Amino acid sequence: MSLLVRVAEVTDETHQIRTLRLIREDGAPFGPYEAGAHIDVTGPTGVLRQYSLCGPPDDPASLLIAVKREPRSRGGSAALHQVAPGDSLEIGEPRNLLSLAEEAERYVLVAGGIGITPLLSVAYALHSRGAEFELHYFARSRQEAAFVELLETRSEFSDRVRFHLGVPRGEQPELFAAMAAAATPACHVYTCGPQGFMARVTSVFTPVVGEDQVHVEHFVAAQVDTSCDHAFTVELDTGEVFEVPAGKSILAVLEEGGIDVFKSCEEGICGSCVSGILDGVADHRDNCLSAADKASGTQIALCVSRARSDKLVIELY
Ligand code: FES
């Protein structure tokens, strides 16, 4: 369901990152959302993009998003850098792919660059719960780090945040190793940032806490070798059968067949198209399902993932 919102406030966090505070056009309050959630935002040019919510998840008055202007923007982030207070935008319901573990001895949040945005809402939620957490924020420089003043001055964060500014990539593993050495098996780790950054965090913390307790939030699609793709059959729980050739996604084949599938990013990031698997084995290529979800073999992202078996039986959500 989409919702009309108005831009109430625009703040330049850095020369590339701008926050937009959004309020409902109808003046009604927002419902609470889960920490780490994101929303679809349709900008003035009609381009739809996903943005993490970075305010307190229980604030009914407004939603906050941070938009980094991408140098090769195809109309999404650049257009949102043009909006002004009073402008209207269309947004979707908050969706969450980064589930926050209920019980952890301590939460370790590791953000790289714009990856601070979902982890900021996680930090607000952990503070509300009275949970033990630490937030490590890596950025190229103080000038390029968003939310510095907020993180330094708000009592929720001031003694929990460690800034790591201008740390060369080659020196990051040493810092990650020091954090991991202080962690216990009952910690949960949440990371968001560039792919390589998250991969380094994951590889250092996994031996300490296990892969199910390292949670990653992806912004960009995974690069996958598709040269060995083969054709397979998809059967819906309604009995309709489709042939998916190499070079075409399940989502594309279903849409061509007149089946309506909820979708958004079409890159395996947002989770909109995730559906149930009733039979068959998936070849997971998304960045939205957790390792545990993939291992359970019960869900698949139809826009990017394929089949290892000759046939998949799918239940559309
Ligand atoms: S449409 Fe976003 S994960 Fe498939």
User: What is the set of domains in the chain, with CATH numbers?
Assistant: 3-91 (2.40.30.10), 106-217 (3.40.50.80), 232-315 (3.10.20.30)
What contacts 283, CB < 8 A, 6 or more positions away? 305, 306, 307, 308
Q: Which residue among 267, 294, 305 is best mutated to probe the pocket of ligand 1, counting the most ligand atoms within 8 A of its Cβ?
A: 267
Both tokens of 153, joined, read 């001055």
Q: Which amino acid is at 115?
A: G
Evaluate if residue 8 carries a pLDDT over 90.
yes
Evaluate if residue 220 carries a pLDDT over 60.
no
Average pLDDT over residues 288-310: 91
Average pLDDT over residues 43-72: 86
Find the 125 Cα to ligand 1 centroid distance in Å: 26
CB-defined site of ligand 1, < 6 Å: 263-266, 268-273, 286, 288, 301, 303
Q: Which residue among 294, 303, 316 is best mutated to probe the pocket of ligand 1, counting the most ligand atoms within 8 A of its Cβ?
A: 303
Find the 297 Cα to ligand 1 centroid distance in Å: 17
Find the 127 Cα to ligand 1 centroid distance in Å: 31
Residue 190: predicted pLDDT: 96
Q: Which residues of 33-42 are buried (b: 16+ CB within 10 A; e: fewer)?
A: bbbbbbbbbb
Both tokens of 264, joined, read 């958004």
Q: Which residue among 218, 219, 263, 293 is best mutated to probe the pocket of ligand 1, counting the most ligand atoms within 8 A of its Cβ?
A: 263
Better pLDDT: 229 or 90: 90
pLDDT digits (tens, 9 = 90+) for 96-144: 767 788 889 999 999 999 899 999 999 999 999 999 999 999 999 999 9
DSSP character string of the chain = --EEEEEEEEEESSSSEEEEEEEETT-PPPPP--TT-EEEEE-TTS-EEEEEB-S-TT-SS-EEEEEE--TT-SSSHHHHTT--TT-EEEE---B--SPPPS--SEEEEEEEGGGHHHHHHHHHHHHHHT--EEEEEEES-STT-TTHHHHHHSTTTTTTEEEEES--GGGHHHHHHHHHHH--TTEEEEEES-HHHHHHHHHHHHHHH-GGGEEEE-SSPPP---TT---EEEEETTS-EEEE-TTS-HHHHHHHTT-----S-SSSSS-TTEEEEEES-EE---SSS-HHHHHHT-EEETTT-EESSSEEEEE--
Residue 225: predicted pLDDT: 64
Find the 315 Cα to ligand 1 centroid distance in Å: 16
Find the 271 Cα to ligand 1 centroid distance in Å: 5
Residue 221: predicted pLDDT: 52
Residue 149 buriedness (CB in 10 A; 0-12 / 13-18 / 19+): exposed
Find the 91 Cα to ligand 1 centroid distance in Å: 17
Evaluate if residue 155 carries a pLDDT over 90.
no
- 263 Cα nearest atom in ligand 1: 1
- 262 Cα nearest atom in ligand 1: 1
> What residue has token string 């999404």?
76
Q: Which residue among 265, 287, 305, 314 is best mutated to probe the pocket of ligand 1, counting the most ligand atoms within 8 A of its Cβ?
A: 265
- 273 Cα nearest atom in ligand 1: 4
pTM over 0.85? The answer is no
Residue 222: predicted pLDDT: 54
Task: Enumerate the β-bridge partners of residue 66.
Answer: 19
- 303 Cα nearest atom in ligand 1: 4
- 288 Cα nearest atom in ligand 1: 3
Q: Which amino acid is at 262?
A: F
pLDDT digits (tens, 9 = 90+) for 157-211: 888 999 999 999 889 989 999 999 999 999 999 999 988 899 999 999 999 999 8
Give φ, ψ of 145 to 5 degrees: -95, 130
Evaluate if residue 75 carries a pLDDT over 70.
no
Evaluate if residue 235 carries a pLDDT over 80.
yes
Evaluate if residue 73 carries a pLDDT over 70.
no
CB 191 within 8 A of CB 202: yes
Find the 267 Cα to ligand 1 centroid distance in Å: 6
Residue 96: predicted pLDDT: 76
CB 310 within 8 A of CB 233: yes
